[in-house]
């Protein structure tokens, strides 16, 4: 299950990163028109989108690197996978809390915030379960666990 999720989520993060880069190239002006007035200009918005998208691409690459390490039975892959999954679970939980707070602060946009928060809770749960499974594999050293 962990390996399938790492692959699926890695691809999803990579697709999201590429989508962000495409937005930076072709859709920054349209995005800027949809946002409330910003204190930054279009080029600064574009740079922000590019920087964020590169971070998203790196998260996707991390997923695939951990998957490759697990498949080749490298013990470090379990450690990196556990820490990364725990970090992403905590981040998603914080995003869910932020979405709930935003929904309370802006009731007219609450459905969108709550939908995003629900997605973040699902993500946090998935990453927490993946971390728990990797911990279990590391402890038992079973067929998918590290060779010692």
Domain co-membership, 99 together with 67: no
Instruction: Find, among 82, 102, 93, the residue nearest to 123 by Cα.
Output: 93
Do 90 and 25 have their domain in common?
A: no
Is the domain of 68 the same as that of 88? no
The predicted-structure confidence for 108-124, as pLDDT tens digits, reads as follows 999 999 999 999 999 99
Final residue belonging to a domain, choices 49, 72, 95: 72
What residues have CB less than 8 Å from 82, skipping those under 6 apart?
A: 131, 134, 135, 138
Look at residue 145 and tell me whether its pLDDT is greater than 70.
no
77, 95: one domain: yes
pTM of the model: 0.84
Pair 77, 138 in one domain: yes
8 and 28, same domain (yes or no): yes
Cβ contact 73:146 at 8 Å: yes
How many structural domains is the chain composed of?
2
Domain interval for residue 91: 73-148
Instruction: Report pLDDT digits (tens) over 12-32.
Output: 999 999 999 999 999 888 888
Do 81 and 62 have their domain in common? Answer: no
Same domain? For 64 and 80 the reply is no
Q: Give 19-66 pLDDT, tens digit per residue.
A: 999 999 998 888 888 877 878 888 888 999 999 999 999 999 999 999
**The token pair that represents 53 in the structure block:** 């998208």
Measured in whole angstroms, the distance separating CA 13 from the mean position of its chain's CA atoms is 6
């Amino acid at each position: 299950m962990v390996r399938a999720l790492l692959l699926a989520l890695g691809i999803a993060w990579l697709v999201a990163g590429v989508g962000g880069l495409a937005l930076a190239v072709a859709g920054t002006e349209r995005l800027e028109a949809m946002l409330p007035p910003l204190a930054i200009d279009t080029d600064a918005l574009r740079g922000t989108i590019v920087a964020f998208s590169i971070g998203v691409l790196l998260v996707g690459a991390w997923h695939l690197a951990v998957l490759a390490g697990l498949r080749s039975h490298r013990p470090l892959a379990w450690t990196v996978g556990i820490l990364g999954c725990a970090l992403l679970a905590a981040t998603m939980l914080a995003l869910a809390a932020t979405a709930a707070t935003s929904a309370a602060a802006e009731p007219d946009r609450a459905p969108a915030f709550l939908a995003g928060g629900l997605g973040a809770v699902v993500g946090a749960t998935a990453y927490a379960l993946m971390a728990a499974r990797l911990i279990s594999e590391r402890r038992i050293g079973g067929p998918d666990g590290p060779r010692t």
